[in-house]
Amino acid sequence: MRWVVNNLVEKIIELKNVGYKNILSTISLDIERGDYVAIIGPNGGGKSTLLKLILKLLKKESGEISLFSTPQDKFKDFYKIGYVAQNSVQIDTNFPATVHEIINLGFAHKTSLFTKSSEQEREYMEYLMEKFAISDIKDYQIGSLSGGQRQRAMITRALVNQPEVLILDEPNAGIDENSQETFYTLLRELNQSKKLTVIFVTHDLGRLKNDVNKVFHINKVLS
């Protein structure tokens, strides 16, 4: 007899008939723990809007959204979801914070001015900064970095907190080949070993085709 231990499907994100303005209508989708999802579609198709609706950065106008089997209205644990926004490189260049400080914001939900991240968390942060080659520039002002360096810092920030879901809106724009490869490999490892759920908006499905198990095609409602 074989063990049947984890036969239960754990739904992490569920959308039922979600609509928003004239951009999205009756979007339904299920994302389960451990899924590696690609979201594709044309410019202006509504991909970024969809992610913002999931993250409650925009308020849906119709339909239902559940996160970790909880209606979105009642869901509080947004720290379980890491997010790298599409335009995260276009940060105000005068923003007065160093790379290190920005990455530390990844722990913001549990640390305050008076508490510190644990030794283990700091080690993981060092490991990620090393991997993304930003250790040497960690004391630089975020605004003084190149676009690609800044994007790598934003990805590190989303990962330090070890989220259960990572939502990435074209995170590779402006990142060089080497760093992209590091990123794809790390995501693959986290997806396979930790069951990290990955949601990746991309215009380059070819690069991800061996990693993803679901693809959603989003296109604006034609009116």
Residues lying near Mg ion in the complex (CB under 5 A): 47-48, 86
Task: Give me 16's structure tokens.
Answer: 């039922």
128 is a contact residue toward ligand ATP (CB under 6 A) = no
Cα(110)–Cα(79) distance, integer angstroms: 9
Query: What number of other Cβ atoms are within 10 A of residue 223's Cβ?
Result: 5
Smallest distance, Å, CB 87 to Mg ion? 9
Residue 46 binds ligand ATP (CB under 6 A): yes
d(CA 193, CA 155) in angstroms, rounded, equals: 19
Q: Does 104 bind ligand ATP (CB under 6 A)?
A: no
Number of chain residues interacting with ligand ATP (CB under 6 A): 12
**Per-residue CA distances from 69 to 13, 35, 147, 172 (Å):** 7, 16, 37, 30
- Kindly indicate which of the ranges 5-13, 41-49, 122-130, 185-193 contains the residues binding ligand ATP, using the contact rule CB under 6 A: 41-49
Q: Which of 157, 68, 175, 161 is nearest to 111 (CA)?
A: 161
Q: Which is nearer to Mg ion, 125 or 167 (CB)?
A: 167
Q: Which is nearer to Mg ion, 25 or 86 (CB)?
A: 86
Rule CB under 6 A: is residue 86 a binding residue for ligand ATP?
yes
Decide: is 41 part of the binding site for ligand ATP (CB under 6 A).
yes
Nearest-approach distance from CB 39 to ligand ATP, in angstroms:
8
| Residue 151 interacts with ligand ATP (CB under 6 A): yes or no | no
> Alpha-carbon distance 186 to 128, whole Å?
10
Q: CB-wise, 40 or 134, nearer to Mg ion?
A: 40
- How far apart, in whole angstroms, are the C-alpha atoms of residue 91 and residue 150? 9
Residue of 13, 23, 40, 99 that binds ligand ATP (CB under 6 A)? 23
If we measure between CA atoms, which residue out of 181, 192, 136, 129 comes closest to residue 157? Answer: 129
Nearer to ligand ATP, 27 or 190 (CB): 27
Q: Which class for 186: exposed (0-12), middle (13-18), buried (19 or more C-beta within 10 A)?
A: middle
Nearer to ligand ATP, 70 or 90 (CB): 90
Q: Tell me: does residue 48 bind ligand ATP (CB under 6 A).
A: yes
H helices of the chain, in order, are 47-54, 99-104, 119-131, 147-160, 177-194, 205-208
Q: Is 171 in the site for ligand ATP (CB under 6 A)?
A: no
Residues lying near ligand ATP in the complex (CB under 6 A) are found at: 21, 23, 41, 43-49, 86, 220
